[in-house]
Amino acid sequence: MEDKLSNAQKILKEYSQEHLLHFYPELTEAQKNNLLNQILNLNFKEILDLYEKSKFDVLDSTENIEPLDYTIKSDLTYSKKKQYISLGTKAIKLGKVGVITLAGGQGSRLGFNGPKGTFCLDIEPKKSLFEILCDYLKKYSLKYKISIPWYIMTSTNNYFDTITFFEKNNFFNYDRSNIIFFTQENMPIIDINGKLVLSEIYKINMASNGNGNLFSSLKRANLIKDMENRKLQWLFISGIDNVLLDPLDPIFIGYTINSKLEIGSKTLFKENPKDLSWVFARKNGKPSIVDCENFTEQISLIQDKKGKYLYREKNMLAHLFSLKAIKSMSDVKLPYHRAFRKNPFVNSEGMKQVPDSPNIYKFEQFVFDAFSYFKDIALLRVNAEEEFCPIKDFNGPYNPEIAAKKYEEIVLK
């Protein structure tokens, strides 16, 4: 233990993080060991370099941006729609399509203590977000007499709670062997002074490092090999909270397959040209999602000769990746994005304190940063009224009451 302590002290001194051992004399032997192991296994240089570089974030400019082509789903001709449905249905029936759900979030913004996927929608009978998604899979499984592999990425914090929830609900009567759980990795959070934060007097505060960690996490869990063994060719990737999103939409799957591209994404039209939402565009010649904060309205109004808007396609976290694409991304180190958040911390007196305003920086990777590693992307704009109703919080436009109403009107009709 003394050698561990000595090594930890050297590391902390090098990176000016000595405060992490402030409560060390008060800890039990087990707690001391836990804290020292954390310190010795953290990459302090990486997190502090990210912190320093994030001070100089460069906004995108219009100089390196070009439009991406897209198709509007409602404009598809009958013959095209029939063609895509045939292609998509064939891939599903042959067991070539799997589903990946990003479920690392907690339900705290809903006033709910537990994994967000376990939050129940107020319908009759009540159903959790996990069960709602599973119902979509069961529909296709029963229709085509197959069992679709369902990969669920959790955080380390909600992993066991998620599995316990599935066990208590008998995995919603879905084939247990086709529900596969795995965890994403964590990154330390850091305060405005560049100091790592304690969540307990014996524990450094860590947070999930974003949905872009998906690819390396799949590889770490040996699940890319699992996908190969199952003969999968396509994986649909989405979050857990959009109750209107069909993960096996044959039109979208067929549209992407027909494009001969490795990746596809559903998009939403940005109604308000002043909306600060990031948009799909070609950046430096590659498909990307662009932060147009400093020129939002400027490019939002650009149209082609037929009156088609060129920069109004928003991300809705509904992507289709070929297994080949996922495999290629599993060795890529995606960039990190900084987010300013409000997070409880241990103060100088060893007490847990809840701040009144944002106090820490969190660094996350995003799935959409993978797009730029491919030559192009198949974009299909869908109708938000029919396919987009996520549950975000109780007070905004995407709340549980609205979600329940739309789910009943559109899915349970």
pLDDT tens digits along 31-82? 999 999 999 999 999 999 988 888 776 667 677 899 999 999 999 999 999 9
**Residue range 250-259, pLDDT digits in tens:** 999 999 999 9
User: At residue 238, does pLDDT exceed 70?
Assistant: yes
Comparing 61-70, 268-277, 321-330, 331-340, the range with the smallest average pLDDT is 61-70
Q: Is 382 exposed, middle or buried (0-12, 13-18, 19+ CB in 10 A)?
A: buried
Predicted pLDDT of residue 58: 66
Instruction: Return d(Cα 220, Cα 391) in angstroms, integer.
Output: 30
Instruction: Return d(Cα 235, Cα 328) in angstroms, integer.
Output: 14
Q: Is 52 exposed, middle or buried (0-12, 13-18, 19+ CB in 10 A)?
A: exposed
Mean pLDDT of 191-197: 93
Mean pLDDT of 355-384: 95
Q: How many residues does the chain have?
A: 413
Predicted pLDDT of residue 77: 98
Query: What is residue 287's three-state secondary structure?
Result: strand
Q: Is 281 exposed, middle or buried (0-12, 13-18, 19+ CB in 10 A)?
A: buried
Neighbours of 87 (CB within 10 A): 18
Predicted pLDDT of residue 179: 98
Mean pLDDT of 89-94: 98
Mean pLDDT of 252-281: 96
Alpha helices in 94-240 (DSSP H): 129-144, 159-168, 214-220, 223-229
Give the CA count within 13 Å in the CB-facing half-sphere of 227: 26
Predicted pLDDT of residue 109: 80
Mean pLDDT of 118-131: 94
Predicted pLDDT of residue 154: 97
Beta bridge partners of 279: 290, 314
Q: Does the domain formed by 42-411 have CATH 3.40.50.300?
A: no
Which tokens is 155 given?
């955080």
**pTM, 2 dp:** 0.94
**Residue range 281-300, pLDDT digits in tens:** 999 999 999 988 878 888 89
Instruction: Return d(Cα 297, Cα 66) in angstroms, integer.
Output: 16
* Average confidence score pLDDT of the chain: 93
Query: What is residue 232's three-state secondary structure?
Result: coil
Q: How far is CA 14 from CA 8, 44, 377, 390, in A?
A: 10, 9, 44, 45
pLDDT classification of 345: cutoffs 50, 70, 90: confident
Query: What is the β-pairing status of strands 198-200 and 263-269?
Result: unpaired
Predicted pLDDT of residue 103: 96
pLDDT classification of 333: cutoffs 50, 70, 90: very high
Which tokens is 296 given?
């939002």
Instruction: Return d(Cα 33, Cα 38) in angstroms, integer.
Output: 9
pLDDT classification of 412: cutoffs 50, 70, 90: confident
